[in-house]
Amino acid sequence: MKRITCVALIVLLSAGLLFAGGQKEQASGQTEEKATVEQTEEKVFKIGINNFGQANFFARIGRATMIEEIEKRGGIVVSTVTADVPSRISAIEDFITQGVDAIIIQEGDIAMAAPPLKEAKKKGIIIAAMGCGDADFVDVAVDSDDEQLGRGAAEAMLELIDYNGDVVEIINDLGAMIRVRKNAMHELVEQQPGVNVTWSFTYAWPDFFPDVKAKMESLIQANPDPGQIDAVYATFDGAGVAAAHAIKEAGLQDSIIVVGIDGDPEAFKEMSDPASPFKATMAQKPAKFAQKVVEQVFLLLEGKQIEERYIPIPGEIVTQEDVLSGKIKYEE
């Protein structure tokens, strides 16, 4: 009888151990399944980017690099290119409808699109600015140091004309960065009694090249003699290249100098002609801007803190001598 009882007890204990082992295996399987589900459901961020046209290299390289960087990090890109403020606003409203997690605005003036961006901010969407100024609703802004760029180009221009002469400025106040560059130049010119900003005209956007060339031609026709116009201050390189073409066609390349801002490969190409009046530019690298803004946006989306909300990136002077010597090369 005792033997039967012992055998029964062993059987019961074995069954219990088998049952417990089964429970452990089942629990382990559930844990693995849960981890797999969590990995599968890891957040994929959708990011809307809006460019204010694609007329210059800064816009083109910036947009292409942002798309590449976002996709490299596993994000989904919703990209739009608009040429005016109303269409930019419509694009932002569409971003909100599509449920994006972040919006990056490049070039133009971010403050002009404030209403829909503020609405996006209320919905928890991260707002980033690249080369379009700053505003209180912006979470991170990566910007040109446009004060430094404007001053650098102006200093080069003043030195080239020996601090004496009449200047043409090519501007468009729709761009926040353009306003800063223009004002930086004016601050320096006002300190030079021999220098005057005598003419000012606004470039069209995005079809700036034929517009600038035509306006520069008209100005030259009204002031055809060497020494009447001494310098052209172009607030971005594309406008400077267009002005340089008009100057060369008029045969005034020895009496009018051009300076620009951005370091556009087209400017370097123009400067590689020894007869070109395009003498200097303040160069910057848009790919660096794009990489930085995407990096900061992903940190914010991942719930991390960023060291700086506003990140200015300075440029450096590139002269025609730098290009002619081979120190700076342009891409065909």
The one-letter code for the residue type at 33 is: E
CA distance 86 to 281: 32
Q: How far is CA 72 from the centre of its chain?
A: 18
67 CB-near residues (< 8 Å, 6+ apart): 49, 77, 79
Residue 166 β-bridge partners: 196
Name the packing angle between helices 146-160 and 176-189 (round to 10°). 40
Share of the chain above pLDDT 70, in %: 86
Q: What is the pLDDT of residues 205-264, one digit of tens each?
A: 889 999 999 999 999 999 999 999 999 999 999 999 999 999 999 999 999 999 999 999
**What pLDDT does residue 330 have?**
53
- Chunked mean pLDDT (size 10), the chain, 332 residues: 40 41 48 42 90 87 96 97 95 98 95 97 97 94 95 98 98 92 98 98 95 98 98 97 98 98 94 97 93 97 95 94 85 42
CA distance 180 to 273: 30
- The helix/strand/coil state of 202 is strand
Tell me the three-class secondary structure of 160-199, residue by residue: HCCCCEEEEEEECCCCHHHHHHHHHHHHHHCCCCCEEEEE
> Which domains can be identified in the chain, with CATH numbers?
46-144+286-314 (3.40.50.2300), 146-283+317-324 (3.40.50.2300)
Q: What is the pLDDT of residues 193-202, one digit of tens each?
A: 999 999 999 9
The number of C-alpha atoms within 13 Å of 260 and in the hemisphere containing its C-beta is 24
